[in-house]
Structure 1
Amino acid sequence: MKKGIFGLLCVLLSTLGNPLLAQKSTDSLTRRAYLNDCLLYALTNYPIVRQSLIDQEIADRNIKIAQSSWYPQLTSGYSLIHYLKLPVTQIPDATTGERRNVTLGAQNTSVASFSLSQSILSRDLLLANRTADAYRVQAAQTTTLNKIDVVVNVSKAYYDAVLTQRQADILTEDITRLQRSLRDASNQYQSGVVDKTDPQRAQVALNNALAQRKQYTDLVGAKIQVLKQYMGYPPALNLGVAYDTTQLVRDTALDTTQLANPASRVEYQQLRTQRELLDANVRYARWAYLPSVSAIANYNFQYQNNTFTQLYSQVFPNSLIGLSVVLPIFQGGRRVQQLRIAELQVKRLDWDFVSLTNSVDAEYAQALSVYKGNLANYYALVANQQLAQDNYRIINLQYRSGVRAYLDVTVAEADLRTARLNVFNALYQVLVSRVDVLRALGEYRF
């Protein structure tokens, strides 16, 4: 009894499991979507990826269509003929030798036929067998290339949205600090320590920060919509983008001692697959000198009668088996030219390997140099941020002690806010350039 109840619970859980997991996945993206969550969703739901998977299935079915001719081909046919006037044939007389007109056939004729053929040797079928795996690999490589583009685009859009959100958070922190400065300046003005310009300057700085935060907040919504587009995420649903600043900083690390290897790129592998197909095309051109051999068998049910209502009262069957051999002897040099064209296509593709190798090296060198420059700029701006923060702290203390004017505090606040915003702009540039370096190295795999 206990086993039966337990089994029933297992069935219920397995039935309800998928909807619950789907709901949980949707809720997780709505509440907290990190980069990996966005990538997993995009690789499953982005339209181009889905189309690529469908293209793979189409390619597999096309291969099966091409190979289906190896199986016996059975066909049937039916015809019904009524002669308005029967054909006449001249037949020599057996005694006199003179030709006389003889009407042949019946007024009504009907034939039901069955034909069976089996290919034994065909260059088209040989080509289909040789290239089946290559076409499957080619379709899979196209899917992989599309997935790499999705990862690159989603990563950049995610970093853009996250760092814009971080800049809005920085401005929120600055607004809190500016509100405190405005209270301090107002209190000192009411105490007669400073004149009216200090609280006015504080109010101006606060208004500017509020307006700037509004711009960044609106920009975050637009950046998230772009991210949704690259993910294939429904535009009307909420997407709660989450991030870890410490993890973002760790993601800037990259081994710059690596060397570009064109063979690791999917584009290079696509050329290899294309080379394999072109080599098969050369063999196909050479097979043009082979005969096409097939076995045939026919069985026909023939009905003849001058009276239509009695047409199917008597049948005259006939059947045959045979072997068909077609050997092209001379085609005006067509096969020679087709073979030369196939060989030239292979030579032309070899130059694509050279071109791709050069472009990969140049792409990696450029991406690496941009990454190094952005990383150095980021480290410099981090140091500037620390200096600006120390400078603001000292000047703010001096202002409260009556040593400095509020104008110096305003300048220090502006410098600190600019330094913090610049740091995250630089962090975005580093992360984006790192994505480009990984793309050039061909390190994205699925």
Structure 2
Amino acid sequence: MKNSFHFTIFSFLILPVTLLAQTKQDSLPAVLSLDQCIKYALQNQPAVRQASIDEAINEKNIGIALSAWLPQVNSNNSATHYFKGSPATGGGANGGTGVGTSSDIHNVSVLGIQATQVIYNNDVLLASKASKYSREYYKDNAYNSQIAVVADVSKAFYDVLLSQRQLDIIKEDIVRLQRSLKDATARYQAGVVDKTDYKQATIALNNAIASRKQTEEAIKSKSAFLRQQMGMPAERPLSLSYDSTRYEREAFIDTNQVLDYTNRIEYRQLEAQRNLTGLNVNYYRYGFLPSLSANGAYNLGYFSNKLGDLYGNSFPSLYAGLTLSIPIFTGGKRLQNLAKAHLQVDRADLDLIQTKNTINTQYTQALANYKSNYTNWQLLKQNVDLANDVYKVVSLQYREGIKTYLDVIVSQSDLRTAELNYFNALFQVLSSKIDLQRAMGTIGTFNKQ
């Protein structure tokens, strides 16, 4: 009875959590569009979440570095027993209070609180200036991971849809081949043709069935890869929506846009790194300047020969002052670091030039691929209608005994090839559009924060 009561209580406690998880899981529609897949991936892909965590870690590091500008308060306390000798000397150690001679004082304790405030320090100044560029770098890094997810999920999405369309075409081809096999069998049994047509129809049908199985397995593999890119659990069913009109409309992109290097995240990250390197030049250039800080303390001194009477009387002290630290000679370390920083700036400038050349090459290649694929897709659209008309005419002529079965097989093969080439060309255009947008730095279905 007691165990049943505990189980009932546990069920009521765990029920809201279970319902919340179930609600979150069921919030996704049964059939996902590309935008929904991308949105899910941006929320669940580990790489995106890791980049967001890296950005948060950088904020903490900035806070740690900038905390040196704030007052540093510590409490240093000590209690010491001297078996022989003592720092206290008559009235000197206790401000002339006459506690006793050095031979009388064996127990000394100091309780105090100290505070320091940086007024100028080269290290802290560098941390303050570098915080701006480090924020930009990690913000762009998080954005770059989102761009990668958008591109990878989009391509994986199109790859799955392409295989699904190929499967649909193969299934339609199987239906046609089954009908042709039935016609060939009937004509063979009627003695109109020999068994060659029947066997050719069987061979073509078997090949189509094998292709269907191969494509079905390919869809499973590509769907698993899409789930990986989305950060979706393997056990969740995945069904994708297909809208041919929309994809044909989205295949177009303005190819007259001017390439802007600053749109590329990689270029902006290199600029941030270059700016950080430039700060090191000023850091070592002004490294000869002294460091200045204010400090103060309030201490309570306790002196006694007997341990039990140690904290009976206190002798306070209070002071404030300035500390000036002047680097005089460091063995040429500062000058060597300064020369090294200059070389690092020169190298960063060359990285920017190299990145510009790389971006320009990527853009030129992506633009050429897109234009080629777009032209190919436009031409292949016409082939589908032509091949379909040819198949219908040849199939009718075969039933009337005008064409041979070889002509039927050829027209079926042409129709299937035309349909497969069309969908392959369509998704190649969409994929090359993604590459072009990524090369231009304009990819994304989300707003940059």
TM-score, length-normalised on structure 2?
0.87
Query: What does residue 99 of structure 1 align with?
Result: none
Query: What does residue 208 of structure 1 align with?
Result: 207
Query: What does residue 27 of structure 2 align with?
Result: 25
Deviations along 1:159-209, one digit per CA (max 9) or x if unpaired, are 111100110011111112222222222333333333333233222222221
User: In structure 2, what residue type is equivalent to 1:378?
Assistant: W
* Alpha-carbon contact 2:86-2:106 (below 8 Å) kept: no
Query: What does residue 359 of structure 1 align with?
Result: 358
2:426 aligned counterpart, secondary structure: helix
Distance change >3 Å, CA 259–CA 315, structure 1 → 2: same
Query: What does residue 424 of structure 1 align with?
Result: 423
**In 1: Cα distance, 2:89 partner to 2:272 partner:** 65
Query: What does residue 41 of structure 1 align with?
Result: 40
Query: Once the 2 structures are TM-superposed, how far is the Cα of residue 36 of structure 1 from its aligned partner?
Result: 0.8
Query: Once the 2 structures are TM-superposed, how far is the Cα of residue 150 of structure 1 from its aligned partner?
Result: 1.0
Query: What does residue 14 of structure 2 align with?
Result: none
Query: What does residue 165 of structure 1 align with?
Result: 164
Query: What does residue 442 of structure 1 align with?
Result: 441
Query: Once the 2 structures are TM-superposed, how far is the Cα of residue 307 of structure 1 from its aligned partner?
Result: 1.5
Alignment map for 1:326-405 (pairs within 5 Å): 326-405=325-404
Gaps of at least 5 residues in structure 1 are: 1-14, 92-101
After TM superposition, where is structure 1 displaced by more than 6 Å over at least 4 residues in a row?
15-21, 88-91
1:431 aligned counterpart, secondary structure: helix
1:321 aligned counterpart, secondary structure: strand
* Alpha-carbon contact 1:88-1:104 (below 8 Å) kept: no
**In 2: Cα distance, 1:21 partner to 1:376 partner:** 46
1:41 aligned counterpart, secondary structure: helix
**In 2: Cα distance, 1:129 partner to 1:52 partner:** 23
Which one is further off, 395-404 or 322-331?
A: 322-331
* Alpha-carbon contact 2:86-2:105 (below 8 Å) kept: no
* Alpha-carbon contact 2:434-2:443 (below 8 Å) kept: no
User: In structure 1, what residue type is equivalent to 2:55?
Assistant: Q
Query: Once the 2 structures are TM-superposed, how far is the Cα of residue 344 of structure 1 from its aligned partner?
Result: 2.5
User: In structure 2, what residue type is equivalent to 1:72?
Assistant: P
**In 1: Cα distance, 2:310 partner to 2:180 partner:** 111
**In 2: Cα distance, 1:226 partner to 1:23 partner:** 20
Deviations along 1:102-125, one digit per CA (max 9) or x if unpaired, are 845721122212101111111222
Query: What does residue 295 of structure 2 align with?
Result: 296
**In 2: Cα distance, 1:128 partner to 1:244 partner:** 53
Query: Once the 2 structures are TM-superposed, how far is the Cα of residue 368 of structure 1 from its aligned partner?
Result: 1.4
User: In structure 1, what residue type is equivalent to 2:183?
Assistant: D
User: In structure 1, what residue type is equivalent to 2:323?
Assistant: S
* Alpha-carbon contact 2:384-2:422 (below 8 Å) kept: yes
Query: Once the 2 structures are TM-superposed, how far is the Cα of residue 54 of structure 1 from its aligned partner?
Result: 0.9
Query: What does residue 218 of structure 2 align with?
Result: 219
Query: What does residue 282 of structure 1 align with?
Result: 281
Query: Once the 2 structures are TM-superposed, how far is the Cα of residue 385 of structure 1 from its aligned partner?
Result: 3.0
Alignment map for 1:189-338 (pairs within 5 Å): 189-338=188-337
**Structure 2 residue 122 is matched with structure 1 residue 120:** no
Distance change >3 Å, CA 105–CA 45, structure 1 → 2: farther
Query: What does residue 98 of structure 1 align with?
Result: none
2:330 aligned counterpart, secondary structure: coil
**In 1: Cα distance, 2:255 partner to 2:212 partner:** 37
Deviations along 1:265-301, one digit per CA (max 9) or x if unpaired, are 1111112222222222222223312221111111112
TM-score, length-normalised on structure 1?
0.88
**In 2: Cα distance, 1:426 partner to 1:325 partner:** 73
2:271 aligned counterpart, secondary structure: helix
User: In structure 1, what residue type is equivalent to 2:71?
Assistant: P
**In 2: Cα distance, 1:289 partner to 1:444 partner:** 48
Query: What does residue 136 of structure 1 align with?
Result: 135
1:443 aligned counterpart, secondary structure: coil
**In 1: Cα distance, 2:216 partner to 2:256 partner:** 39
Deviations along 1:112-171, one digit per CA (max 9) or x if unpaired, are 121011111112222222222221111100001111111111111111111001100111
Deviations along 1:388-419, one digit per CA (max 9) or x if unpaired, are 22221221111011111222212221222122
Query: What does residue 63 of structure 1 align with?
Result: 62
* Alpha-carbon contact 2:116-2:296 (below 8 Å) kept: yes
**In 2: Cα distance, 1:263 partner to 1:298 partner:** 52
Query: Once the 2 structures are TM-superposed, how far is the Cα of residue 73 of structure 1 from its aligned partner?
Result: 1.0
Query: What does residue 12 of structure 2 align with?
Result: none
